[in-house]
Amino acid sequence: MLNSADVPPAILALGTAVPPFSAAQSEVGEWMAASFAGRPALQRLIRAIHTLSGIERRHSCTPEYLLPPADSPFAPGQDEANTLSTSGRMAIYTREAPRLGETAARQALEEYADQTDSTYAAVAASITHLVVVSCTGFFAPGLDFVLAARLGLPADVRRTLIGFMGCAAAFNGLRTATDTVGAHDDARVLVVCVELCSLHGQPSTARDSLVSASLFADGAAAALVGRPAAHDADYFQLDEFITRMQPATEDQMIWQIGDRGFDLRLSPQVPEHIAQVAPAALADLFGEHTPGFWAVHPGGRAIVDRLADLFALPADALAPTYAVLRDYGNMSSPTILFVLRRLRDHLRETGASASRAARAPGVAMAFGPGLVVEMARLRYVPARDAAVAGAPVAALDTARP
């Protein structure tokens, strides 16, 4: 008989949320182009960037984002004096980030309550640790403190804030949660990623500023991590994490606090730098085996296309990644959890979860400033297998990497 310590930690439930204000990518492109009236070459470049982005819609926490350029404090190409200061942007973050994070976290906790025939209050009371991830704003008492209170978590919940680590930071949050559960068998860790990227639009006409303005959006996601019990179902078992920092690439992706929000510098060479590191990292996780599924952070169409070519993936292997990019853009740290949720729902709805291939280990990966590549090996455990006395899927599938 396996005891709880024999069962690896898992993502037991997921929640996602986007703010209510959204626009079609084509609308955003026209809005940006209108900001540069009288500069037709720049307008053509802006329209081309938006058309080729692979994005159809993005969300923002503020309706001011797409006011006519002359009236919007976020429109590019205007005098800096007409844009919001960093303190003004942080005031919006302080107001809006807790709302969005709470929505995603409640969804995850309610999902787990439904799966286990429990109540929201009981699940919230069981949370021992809260890990909050964000790189788009700060205030104190922090987002972690506010979320704990709003969600009704225990007064002694242990809080951790992972800040300013960029698009790959969900992996730092999940790794922290996994290590915590590994050290405390009864731990239940709620990981919440919240990013309001749209707050940091810049007036610059530099190409990297225009590209980032065409790519990033707002969103939040949450994951409940713990040791699965016999009644748990439909979860991702977290087997192993790996980090690879690439030397001499510190200038390829830079995220800095400026006077008018946070400034992003993004090199067009990022996809190639990632391609230099990703194969060796994947080999360290899987050896000669091929992942059974792929959950890749949609950092941008160029990155995803490069990885699809690099690993010679079939057309549908990155379908969840491309779908999230299409529907939401790049929301920074929460985005990989959106991909995992879409992948899980696809496996659940198609019945593919019952197959051996679906139970084979898969890979999740993301990329951030450094440059750094973060990966995790994980296994999808479908509902029918979860009833096997809490046994880890490794005990059911001996074809381990």
Cα–Cα distance, 259 to 181 (Å, whole number) = 40
Helix (H, G, I), strand (E, B) or coil at 257: strand
Give residue 158's identity as a one-letter amino acid code.
R
Cα–Cα distance, 214 to 49 (Å, whole number) = 7
Q: What are phi and psi of 226, to 5 degrees?
A: -170, -175
Q: Is the dihedral of CA 388, 117, 346, 172 positive or negative?
A: negative
- DSSP letters spanning 99-155: HHHHHHHHHHHHHHHHHTT--HHHHHHT--EEEEEESS---SS-HHHHHHHHHT--T
Query: Cα–Cα distances in Å, from 357 out to 233, 343, 390?
Result: 18, 14, 21
Choosing from 61, 135, 167, 193, the catalytic residue is: 167
Give residue 261's identity as a one-letter amino acid code.
G
Give exposure, 233-259, as e/b (b: 16+ Cβ within 10 Å). bbbbbbbbbbebebeebeebbebeeee
- At 256, list the tokens: 């800095």
Reply yes or no on whether 197 is catalytic. no
Chain centroid, CA 398 distance in Å: 31
- At 300, list the tokens: 């941008």
Taking alpha carbons only, the member of 259, 214, 207 closest to residue 80 is 259
The residues annotated as belonging to the active site are 167
